[in-house]
Amino acid sequence: MALIGRNLLSALDFTSSRSHRTCLYKCGDACSKEVANTSNNAYFGDILQANFSRRAALRAGSAALVTVGGASMLAACSDSAQSGAQTPDGSAAGAGDAAGGESPIPGLNFEMVAPNTEDAVVVPSGYESAVVIRWGDAVLPGGEGWAVDRQSPEAAEKQFGFNCDYAALLPIRGKKNRFLLVSNHEYTTPHQMFPGYQEDHPTEEQYRIELASHGMTIVEVEGNAKDGSLKPVMGPYNRRITTTTEFALRGPVAGSELAKTTADPTGTHVLGTLNNCSGGLTPWGTVLSGEENIDQYFAGGAEVKDSRARKRFKRYGIEDPQTQRKWERFDPRWDVRKEPHEPHRFNYVVEVDPWDPTSTPVKHTALGRFKHEGANIHVTHDGTVVAYSGDDSRFEYLYKFVSSRTMRSGRSNQDRAENMKILDEGTLYVADFQGNSPDFAEGTLPDDGAFDGTGRWIPLLTVQADGTATSHVPGMSAEEVAVFTREAGDIVGATKMDRPEDVEPHPTTGKVYAALTNNKYRGVAGGADKTASGVPFEGVREYAPIKENKNGLVLEIDDDHAGETFRWNLLLVCGDPQEAETYFGGFDKSRVSPISCPDNLTFDSFGNLWISTDGNALGSNDGLFAVALEGEARGLTKQFLTVPAGAETCGPLVSDKRVVVNVQHPGEDDNATVEQPVSHWPDGGDSTPRPSTVVAWRKDFGVIGGVSS
């Protein structure tokens, strides 16, 4: 039996709320370039297509051939899906109703925020928000007095950096209402930082300010008992980590010939961290941060004489003769024609001890080198530590690292220092997704009724307690696997994914959730006219669901955390709920918010999933959404806030009393300059837009999403 129908995700022109300038400076305009992964490995979209079509065909009955559109397909695929028109403002559902007036869903009892394009942070009725800290605000003494026309490298090293991304809020023991706010600073946009900026002629001072504006900030913030506002203070933990901070390389790459440079002939220490995107907290009190789009900082890959090195640079997107920022004019470390090993010292998960401002941050090379969105930890019942991470690029892979060390339970600096070695010993795996769960026999439907499948984790590299490492990849040494991890995934047959971004284990159920943000192309070499297998679309019977993943997916993975097998199912097919191709866990689509391009994930204390978005393709601002995961409300999706026009919602974190997000690149537009901004958030008037951390809370300072008294 075959089922022919249009794709669950439609093949419309690919649009996004991102400006081209954002693409240039955030990721080196990666989506306009050829796809770096040219392997013949299986593509997750093809697996998903086959899975949906077979199940839908069985549900549709015994006809020899069934032709359907997306709506019929979904009706066949989900018993619990209900029809109904979404209201234009996305506010059909009440303040937490699952459907038809049932009891409010804990944590989701708020009015949906409607899609909008306002130059403001918009929160639900009964809530308010405030800025915590802005680009340029002082973090250390000497950083006071920022003004857009009065900047210096020395001051920038003492100020909150540019384009904040991941956020963490750690309570300070013994200090009531005191916290450490930890923030990543992913990238800089010089047109919106420097008056009169000339992209062909950047100055050395501008270069040095950009170096200082990348990295991370650790700053003490103070709350109060009356509301959720937070204010930065000059505390003893305050610290800036920049592109000139010394990091220790640990794991199989440390000391390798592949890591040695003119400035560091030992291959053990690196100056700085770059393009820090998302991250995670460890149970031992440190912060993990993912180095993502580092390729855009390095020039000359296509002009390297050694053909194998040139191919490996291309696999990581390092090709252009000059970079957009042109840092290579000021330091040869950014030119691979002069320093071919410098890029091998970036693209890792970094670990920072926020409680010791004198500590040396670490780059964990055993977790592999790729565009880490972040890294997030699960600890099994026997104390095994597992770290999950996605390679945020089209057709790249999903990874996990299973440590062979156990965690020390103490909270001293020494205990943390020992626990910071946990991610140096163990095995790195890459995911191979397969269709159809064990419950799905030929000609019958699975007992679980879900659209799921199985998978296995393929070992790439094992590091022993004595530091020796073993490669599990034919033809590659251990240090090559750690440096050229994408190549290792190609060789062993990992499954190509649609930009796997945040990968978060649930704190109570242990299930793992992965955001697949979107994918403009399915074809190889950037072509949109062929499937991943190279077959022209026009010649393919289009088995739902994916031809173009425009709005993104969210996967739910039931993993044998320390083992090598898993099961997966599809939680969300994002987009406009009025469109047939969307799917919300089987929940009534007339009662959900539109959502596009899921990026970062977190959970509240009720167990709900919260999703921030990046590059909304539905014509409205990015936002933060809460999603019910259990019971009859599973799939209920409600927008909690939106960020200003041109901005991305980053972070986020949700506690019982506060929601914290980082507002990245507000007003970032192709024609925006310091002199002619298109946003004036957060200060209003004719001010310069400033990336900032924002906190939201209930006006009565009650529980977020709780039932009002």
pLDDT digits (tens, 9 = 90+) for 97-123: 544 446 789 999 999 999 999 999 999
Q: Does position 91 have pLDDT exceeding 90, yes or no? A: no
* Percent above pLDDT 70 for the chain: 83
Q: Does position 179 have pLDDT exceeding 50, yes or no? A: yes
Enter the tokens of residue 79: 């018993």
Residue with the bigger pLDDT between 607 and 522: it is 607
Q: Tens digits of per-residue pLDDT, 637-689?
A: 999 999 999 999 999 999 999 999 999 999 999 999 999 999 999 999 999 99
Q: Does position 486 have pLDDT exceeding 70, yes or no? A: yes
Mean pLDDT of the chain: 88
Strands (E), 144-228: 164-171, 178-185, 215-222
Tokens 């030992």 sit at which residue? 266
Tokens 């739902």 sit at which residue? 544
Output the pLDDT for position 92.
42
* Percent above pLDDT 90 for the chain: 77
Other beta carbons within 10 Å of 401: 27
Q: Is 8 helix (H, G, I), strand (E, B) or coil?
A: coil
Gap between the Cα atoms of 698 and 126, Å rounded:
6
Q: Does position 393 have pLDDT exceeding 70, yes or no? A: yes
Question: Treating both helix axes as pointing N-terminal to C-terminal, what angle do 70-77 and 44-60 enclose, rounded to 10 degrees?
Answer: 70
Gap between the Cα atoms of 613 and 597, Å rounded:
5
Q: Does position 66 have pLDDT exceeding 80, yes or no? A: no
Mean of pLDDT values over 204-223: 99
DSSP state of 644: P
Q: Does position 7 have pLDDT exceeding 80, yes or no? A: no
Task: Say which residues have a Cβ less than 8 Å from residue 433's Cβ, sequence separation at least 6.
Answer: 42, 44, 47, 453, 455, 495, 568
Q: Tens digits of per-residue pLDDT, 307-350?
A: 999 999 999 999 999 999 999 999 999 999 999 999 999 999 99
Residue with the bigger pLDDT between 3 and 267: it is 267
Gap between the Cα atoms of 480 and 246, Å rounded:
24
pLDDT band at 52 (very low <50, low <70, confident <90, very high): low
Output the pLDDT for position 569.
94
Q: Does position 84 have pLDDT exceeding 50, yes or no? A: no
Output the pLDDT for position 442.
53
pLDDT band at 444 (very low <50, low <70, confident <90, very high): low
Enter the tokens of residue 498: 């649609």
Q: Tens digits of per-residue pLDDT, 245-286?
A: 999 999 999 999 999 999 999 999 999 999 999 999 999 999
DSSP state of 579: S
Strands (E), 548-677: 553-559, 565-573, 583-584, 598-603, 609-613, 623-627, 637-642, 648-654, 659-664
- Return the closest-CA partner of residue 585 out of 634, 631, 627: 634
Enter the tokens of residue 639: 């927008």
Q: Does position 12 have pLDDT exceeding 60, yes or no? A: no
Q: Max Cα separation, the chain?
A: 76
Lowest mean pLDDT among 29-38, 316-325, 554-563: 29-38
Residue with the bigger pLDDT between 283 and 77: it is 283
Output the pLDDT for position 65.
27
Task: Say which residues have a Cβ less than 8 Å from residue 129's Cβ, sequence separation at least 6.
Answer: 121, 123, 641, 694, 695, 696, 697
Q: Does position 572 have pLDDT exceeding 50, yes or no? A: yes
From first CA to last CA, the distance across the chain in angstroms is 56
Output the pLDDT for position 615.
86
Output the pLDDT for position 409.
86
Output the pLDDT for position 550.
79
Task: Say which residues have a Cβ less than 8 Å from residue 158's Cβ, sequence separation at least 6.
Answer: 138, 139, 140, 141, 142, 143, 240
Q: What is the pTM of this model?
A: 0.91
pLDDT band at 620 (very low <50, low <70, confident <90, very high): very high
Q: Does position 524 have pLDDT exceeding 50, yes or no? A: no
Question: Treating both helix axes as pointing N-terminal to C-terminal, what angle do 307-315 and 485-492 enclose, rounded to 10 degrees?
Answer: 90
Q: Does position 531 have pLDDT exceeding 80, yes or no? A: no
- Return the closest-CA partner of residue 673 out of 207, 196, 24, 17: 196
Mean of pLDDT values over 173-194: 98
List helix spans (H) across 81-203. 153-156
